[in-house]
Structure 1
Amino acid sequence: MRKYADLQSKKRLRAVFIIFLFSITLVIGKLFHVQIIKHEWLKAKAEENWDREIPFGAIRGEINDRNGELIVGNRLAPTLYFMPSQNRQPEKAAIELAAILKTDSKKLLEKMTKKEYMVKLAPEGKNITKEQADEIAKLQIEGLYTGIDFTRNYPNDDLLARLIGFTGYDGQGLAGIEYAYDEILQGTGDKIRMYTDARAVPLPHVDDGFQTGDNGATIELTIDVEMQKIMERELIQAMEKYDSTQAVGIIMNPKTGEILSLASMPSFHPTAYQEVDPSIYNRNLPVWMTFEPGSTFKILTLAAGLEEKVIDLHDEHFHDPGYTMVANAKLRCWKRSGHGHQSFLEVVENSCNPGFIEIGQRLGGEKLDAYIRNFGFGETTGSGIAGEAKGILFSKEGFGPVEQATTAFGQGISVTPIQQVQAVAAAINGGNLYKPYIVKEIKNDKGETLQAFEPELKRRVISEETSAQVREALESVVANGSGRNAFNDGLRVGGKTGTAQKVVDGAYRDGDYIVSFIGFAPADDPELLVYIAVDSPKNSVQFGGVIAAPIVGRIIEEIAPLAGVEKRTDQLEKEYRWGDQITHRVPDLTGMTKDMIGRQLHTYRIEWHGKGEVVKYQMPEPDALMNVDDVIHVYTEE
């Protein structure tokens, strides 16, 4: 019995020992699994419970012009974060901070005593200045941390504001390009990771970390900043001079559809958009505003008539008594006495309404309507600019004889400025309708191209031969017709005036007009197309040729060198009319002495500069146009 009992005890001990060894093996295996195999995963999980993130504001992508010049950038603007559990004197801290932030200490204290592990002191401590951040750092307030943040920076102030738009409180795009390309411009931002216990006390055995984010992409526009400055200056001056309600301007490359300038006045500063009426920052007028185009629309009727060969500019004539009867409606010319007997080129020069009604009637309603739609009216241009309108055309059922007649000279329909620019570009560039576009390229923060945009041809609307005739006629309008105030010596400007009576609540308002002018240069090979519209001008005769044409002429003169357009001698000379200043070509005086110039018996006033004998250079330059009362400044070699 004893031997049997000993044997049983040994078996039990052996079993216990085996179980013990197995348990030890399991424990060691588990420890190995936890501490070696799952170490990093468990550590990461623990750190997630310990970490407290202080965000660095995302670096939003820049917006540049076509030449890489900065339009919208970023400015350092720190934001304050506070850990209530790390500070035993929040009242004192709130008072000290309030003095620097110039805010109410009670509001700050309310935030700083919240039962949260970390509080963002906003808006009081959001986007503070570097100077404020430096002062606050000297206070050494426990539990107060400074996160890096950024706000938008505008080196050109309010330039392009109604196109660019603005960002909101947390950096999201709320209007314009900032809104339309918000996802592309947004960055993810960096973060500092601090490790603390439940009481927000830093853990000594864990190092703080840094998480790197991604910067937003940069958008390069087709806009030329220098051209935009010229455009906005001219629009501001026009509004002040004529006490107008608003003004619109577009510059386009007619060969590609690239928009070089897009302006709406009045404007606002993107950092102070709350101070203006929402209608200003919500409406980008060149694509949103619709109105009767007036006589600028006649360019398309002319192009259609020439393409269909229903008129001849030089060898066919038309008599204008001052009105035309259409279906018992008396449609008048702007010149009540009429233009009398004239060629169709003179019809264009004089912007004669009955003459264009005749062109429309020869085309017929169906063809005229087809050409109008083929030129892009009645639908958006696809420019990608937010808020673009389609305009309003007559329905086919409502396009009767009177509607056909008024449409032919730009009345009774509603179009946008960008539609007009797109259509006229096609009429003068050889007949190709290009889609207008505003974004040239999108690049990442390393400068690598993510997406590039190229000219997009929609369709051909007229032939090159017809387009050449249109250019010829419109150059004659500027040299000899209603657009003479846009004439610019040597640049061969072509164009067309527009004067449209405003419609309010379905009725024409007396004495209230939108005056416009669309011009291009050089007339034989257009590189620049400029459109200006001034709404409700006062203090002047309300005609596009009087108000808008000179503005376009000045703009083309200033932007031509920026586009590489040089002055030429082969131009259509401006026809003298009674009341015009008498002009002469400047003689070449370089290389002459004072005696030689005196013997030529010039009647010009000449001012001498320098003590030398021989003229080295002169202003104005030789062969330039000058008024008879102007002065020629000559500079001698010394």
Structure 2
Amino acid sequence: MINTKPLNAMRFRSKIIMTAAFSVLFAAVAGNFFKISVLDNKKYQNMANDQHFGSVSISAHRGSIYDSKGVALAKSATVYKIFIDPQSFKEDLDRLEKLINKRKVDVASGTYTPVLDENGNDKNKLPESIDAFKEEAVDLLSQKLGISKEKVLDAIAQDSRYIVLQEQVEKPVADEIDDFFNEWGFVSVRNEEDTKRYYPQKDLAASVIGFTNGNISYGVESSYNKYLSGVDGRTISAVDSNGNALPYRYSKTFEAKDGDDVYLTIDREIQYILEKNLKKMVDDHSVKNRSCAILMNPKTGAIYGMATYPSFDLNDPFTVSDQSIYDKIFAEKNIVEPTKKDFDDYYTEARERMWKNKCITETYEPGSVYKIITSSAAIEENVIDIENDTFYCEGFKKIEGHKANIDCWKLAPGHGVQKFQEALTNSCNPAFMDIGMKLGKEKFCYYFDAFGFREPTGIDLPVEVKGNNKKLDEMELVDLAVSSFGQCETITPIEMITACCASINGGYLLKPYVVDKVVDSDGNIVLKNERTVRRQVISEDTSAKMRNALYNVVVGNGAGNVNIKGFAIGGKSGTSQRLSETSRYEEIKEQEDAAIQEYGASYVCFTPADDPELILFVLADMPDKEGDLYYGSKCAVPTAREILTEVLPYLGKSPEYNEQELKNLDVKVPLLKGASIDDAVKTLDGMGVKYEKIGNGIEVVDQSPMTGKSIAKDGCVYLYTEKVDPSDTMVMVPYLYGCSPSVANQIINDSGLNYTTKGASIDRDGATVNSQSITEGTLVPRGTTIELEFMVNEISD
């Protein structure tokens, strides 16, 4: 008998092993199933969705940018994206081809009866052939979308469900394409709403607003992009088991969330005033390296206007329209006669320079405007007695360890002995070198940093750069000397005006800003910018002394500052050597050769002088050096005067005249036409205004100047009591340039004309006519008012 026990035992062990193996395998499968279906469900669901769904982004409508009054500066218009579903297009073609073939059979067999319209045309007319239709469709898409026929044919041939033919298509074109394909029942060529950015004010505030084009963005468009951009929507379409997209009609669209609107602190009218006057300054003085201006509130940091000229058209930002941009580059590259290749080679660099906001992205030597900062630091540290200390200027100063003398702008014999106010008014370099030495290197560097010149201001615009100067361990006595009057350091215009704000607003260094608020589509304010104090740099007392000192600069040197009747203004001009703008720095520094130097002409002013509400900065970078017109007082000051003359009444600021101004106050001519001659004479006598009667009538039938015109207090109004031939009233405008106030007054009166004045006070010694509003030799009606600008023809820094 065979013993089966060992065999049975072996079989039993095999069963156990197999059972254990299957148990382990089952556990692994069950565990993996649990992991996939429960733990990693979301991951695999997304993978499945990726296989079963496709998606197309829908651009959100970008938020608008408005000025402080709600005027649109940047808008997004609705445009359309034209796309084709190639697979559906083939199906549409097959369907149309069957209709055409059937029609041909019906016509041939005589079973087709056309339905005619009132003009006798077949309402149900079909294309001659499918090839003819396809050719017509391709031609239409090519012409209307501005793309090649090859691109259309290539799109049609794709094995796809969604091909974009063109973006940014205007509505009339999209409608025309829709009408064409709808006529034949095509569902394969469609459009989607999209957005297009445009700028209604074109070049106004271009460097502040910036633009957006693909992944390129500048200005507010860049710094506030997260608010403006909104959230894109998406169209989700299904795909079949082979991964092919189902027809576009089988889709679901998730609408885009439009961007928020941004409101600037900038006022369009003020911005226009700044840019208009910068253009005149650039044209008049042949400024080589652009100009800029900033008008802001020194109490809050809100910017009312920030301009760079020349500017560019935001709707066409890739066109360099101003030759001066290229001229500056060619001068740097020593290219005397540029060729077309030179223009092509330097196009990108010219374009980038054009886009830059000069107020925040370029540095310059501040020159004598920096004396405001040196003065503030010295007064705060009590190193000078502004009432009693004296400073001597012989036209130059010798600095220990430096081989050459450092000149004052007023050469020997210089300014002589001066107290602080005289030194500031005279803008005396040797006096400020003395003040800098009293302050010392350590304190000078401390205040350079404290006033924010070695750090960005934090303005809400992109690509801001920061100023620079020698650090304490690098600074020698000569560096301290020239830094004290603004010639060693390089800073940005926004740093300069922000530091000047701190000097006059109580000592508070503020964060400037150009955006007031951000508002969502429901009108909710999602962001509000307000006054932000970075730190207090000087005391209220020091700040009050600086306001008074700068007011007295204007009073004491009306020729080189902004004087506007009825407004108390403080200010300081500056003229700097632009050593940092040339590779010939050392050559210029050693030779002091005016022929190879360039200059920066600047001016800062504020009003009211005792409690400033406005502060203005103007810079002409590299004006023409002919004569002395490159000085800040000759170049930047007249521009600042024109800006404030327009801005102050626009903002509703009322003049408050002092005793001297009241004495020489212009008068407005009242309405006299239609009144009796006796009443007219009585009115003018009451105003203390001279008059001349012309004719023997008893009623005023005409008058000159007209109602509302201003004339000097000793001017004359001409009253016509009889109709006269207009040619008999004409007189010729005389040449008045260089005339003193008394001589100009005599000539004007003898000519039968009137005048008003601006610029330097006519009571100031040496004041003469610098310009007249009507060209000499012009024939004008008797009594016409000419505006005369008076200046004191002396050089002032």
Q: Structures share a fold, TM > 0.5? A: yes
Aligned to 1:355, which of 408, 413, 431? 431
Change (3 A) 1:341 1:605: farther
Instruction: Say if 2:569 is the partner of 1:528.
Output: no
1:445 aligns with 2:549: no
CA distance in 1, matches of 2:391, 2:682: 54
Residue pair 1:483, 1:497 contacting (<8 A) in 2 also: no
Distance, in Å, in 2 between the alignment partners of 1:98 and 1:466 is 71
Question: Which residue of 69, 72, 75 maps to 1:70?
Answer: 72
In structure 2, what residue type is equivalent to 1:168?
N
* Alpha-carbon distance in 1 for matches of 2:248, 2:176: 28
Q: Deviations over 1:15-73 (max 9, x none)?
A: xxxxxxxxxxxxxxxxxxxxxxxxxxxx9999998877665431011122223322111
Question: Of 130, 140, 149, which aligns to 2:194?
Answer: 149
Q: CA RMSD in A?
A: 3.6
1:378: how far off?
Answer: 1.2
Task: Establish whether residue 512 from structure 1 lines up as the match of residue 598 from structure 2.
Answer: yes
Q: Which of 333, 345, 348 is residue 408 of structure 2 equivalent to?
A: 333
Tell me if structure 2 keeps the 8 A contact 1:498–1:544: yes
Do the aligned partners of 1:482 and 1:497 also contact (CA within 8 Å) in 2?
no
Distance 1:624 1:177, change over 3 A: farther
Report the alpha carbon displacement of residue 119 of structure 1 after superposing the two structures with TM: 0.2
CA separation of 1:289 and 1:601: change in aligned 2, threshold 3 A:
closer
For residues 646 and 657 of structure 2, the distance between their equivalents in structure 1, rounded to whole angstroms, comes to: 18
* 1:469-490 residue CA offsets vs partner (Å, 9 max, x unmatched): 2122222222332763521111
Q: Percent identity, aligned pairs only?
A: 30
User: Shift of the alpha carbon at 1:237?
Assistant: 2.0
Is 2:123 the counterpart of 1:79? Answer: no
Q: C-alpha distance in 2, partners of 1:622/1:194?
A: 78
Q: Given the two structures, how large is their TM-score scaled by the length of structure 1? A: 0.82
1:128 matches 2:128 = no
1:558 equivalent to 2:638? Answer no
- Post-superposition Cα deviations, 1:161-197, rounded to whole Å, max 9, x if no partner, equal 112221123xx55222222222222123445667787
Of the structure 1 ranges 500-509 and 391-400, higher mean CA displacement relative to structure 2 is found in: 500-509
- For 1:401, which of 466, 470, 477 is the aligned residue? 477
Q: Residue 496 in 1 paired to residue 569 in 2? A: no
What's the CA shift string for 1:241-278, capped at 9, x where partnerless? 22212111111110011122222222222232222333
Tell me the SS of whatever aligns to 1:530: strand
Shift of 1:358: 1.7
2:497 is matched with 421
Correspondence 1:165 to 2:210: yes
- Which residues of structure 1 form unaligned runs of 5+? 1-42, 575-582
Match in the other structure for 2:62: 60
Match of 2:181 in 1: 140
Alignment partners' CA distance in 2, 1:589 and 1:316:
50
CA contact (8 A) 1:252 1:530 kept: yes
Report what 1:544 is aligned to.
632
User: Aligned runs of 1:375-386 on 2, under 5 Å?
Assistant: 375-386=451-462
**Partner secondary structure for residue 235 of structure 1:** helix
- Please give the alpha-carbon distance, in whole angstroms, between the structure 2 residues aligned to 1:610 and 1:190: 72
Report the more deviating stretch, 557-566 or 308-317: 308-317
Cα distance between partner residues in 1 of 2:692 and 2:643: 29
SS of 2:630 mapped into structure 1: coil
CA distances 1:551-595 after superposition (whole Å, capped 9, x unpaired):
111111222234443211148869xxxxxxxx9322587699443
Q: In the TM superposition, what is the alpha-carbon distance from 1:344 to its structure 2 partner?
A: 2.1
**What is residue 771 of structure 2 aligned with on the other side?**
none
Bigger Cα displacement from structure 2, 556-565 vs 331-340? 556-565
Give yes or no for the alignment of 1:119 onto 2:163.
Answer: yes
- CA displacement, residues 282-327 of structure 1 (integer Å, 9 cap, x when unaligned): 5221111111110110111111222233434454433321111111
Instruction: Say which SS state the counterpart of residue 257 (structure 2) adopts.
Output: coil
Q: Which amino acid aligns with 1:568?
A: E
Structure 2: gaps (5+ residues): 1-44, 94-133, 321-349, 589-593, 672-677, 716-740, 749-753, 757-782, 785-797
Question: 2 CA distance for matches of 1:446 and 1:103?
Answer: 40
Distance 1:340 1:47, change over 3 A: closer
| 3-state SS of 1:560 partner | helix
| Residues 1:158 and 1:624: Cα distance change in structure 2 (over 3 Å) | farther
How far 1:381 moved relative to its partner? 1.2
Partner of 2:273: 230
Contact 2:202 2:315 in 1 (8 A): no
Which residue identity lines up with residue 201 of structure 2 in the other structure? N
Change (3 A) 1:63 1:587: closer
Residue 216 (1) aligns with residue 263 (2)? no
Letter in 2 for 1:331: I
Number of residue pairs matched? Answer: 578
Aligned match for 1:620, one of 688, 704, 710: 710
Instruction: Check 1:120–1:218 CA distance in 2 against 1; reply closer, same or farther (3 A cut).
Output: same
Q: Is the 8 A contact 2:550 2:571 kept in 1?
A: yes
CA–CA separation in structure 2 for the residues paired with 1:203 and 1:383: 47
Q: Which residue of 1 aligns with 2:222?
A: 179
After alignment, is 547-556 or 231-240 more displaced?
231-240
| Counterpart residue type for residue 308 of structure 2 | S
- Assess, with a 3 A threshold, how the Cα gap between structure 1 residues 481 and 117 changes in structure 2: closer, same or farther: same
Q: What CA deviation, in whole Å up to 9, does each residue of 1:73-120 have, x standing for no partner?
A: 111221101111122455542212112234321222223322221101
Residue 129 of structure 1 deviates from its aligned partner by 1.8
Matched residues in 1 for 2:693 and 2:299: separation? 44
Aligned to 1:302: 375
Greater CA deviation, 602-611 or 62-71? 602-611
Cα pair 2:81 2:193 within 8 Å, conserved: yes
Task: Go from structure 1 to structure 2 and tell me whether the alpha carbon gap of 1:459 and 1:600 turns closer, same or farther (over 3 Å shift).
Answer: same
**Equivalents in 2 of 1:397, 1:202: separation in Å?**
73
How far the C-alpha of 1:514 sits from its partner, in A, is 1.1
Whole-Å Cα distance in 2 between the matches of residues 389 and 572 of structure 1?
Answer: 45
1:188 aligns with 2:231: yes
Q: Is this contact kept in 1: 2:560–2:634, CA < 8 A?
A: no
Q: Partners of 2:540 and 2:693 in 1: how far apart? A: 49
Q: TM-score, normalised by structure 2?
A: 0.66
Seen in structure 2, the aligned counterparts of structure 1 residues 190 and 112 have a Cα distance that, compared at 3 Å, is same
**Aligned-pair CA distance for 1:156:** 0.7
Q: Does 1:93 align with 2:137?
A: yes
Q: What residue identity is the alignment partner of 2:666?
A: V
**Aligned residues of 1:47 and 1:195 also touching (Cα < 8 A):** no
> Residue 312 of structure 2 contacts residue 355 of structure 2 at CA under 8 Å; is this kept in 1?
no
Which residue of structure 2 aligns with residue 242 of structure 1? Answer: 285
Q: Tell me how far apart the structure 2 counterparts of residues 402 and 362 of structure 1 sit (CA, whole Å).
A: 14
Task: State whether residues 483 and 495 of structure 1, in contact with CA within 8 Å, keep that contact through their aligned partners in structure 2.
Answer: no
1:10 corresponds to: none
With over 3 angstroms needed to count, the CA separation of the structure-2 counterparts of 1:54 and 1:399, relative to structure 1, is closer
1:515 deviates by 0.7
C-alpha deviation, 1:439, in angstroms: 2.3
Residues 565 and 200 (structure 1), Cα distance of their counterparts in 2 relative to 1, 3 Å cut = same
Write out per-residue CA displacement over residues 594-627 of structure 1, whole angstroms, 9 at most, x where no aligned residue: 43477799786889996499x9964328989998
Partner of 1:468: 544
Q: Is the 8 A contact 2:161 2:246 kept in 1?
A: no
State the secondary structure of the residue aligned to 1:151. Answer: strand
The aligned amino acid for 1:559 is: V
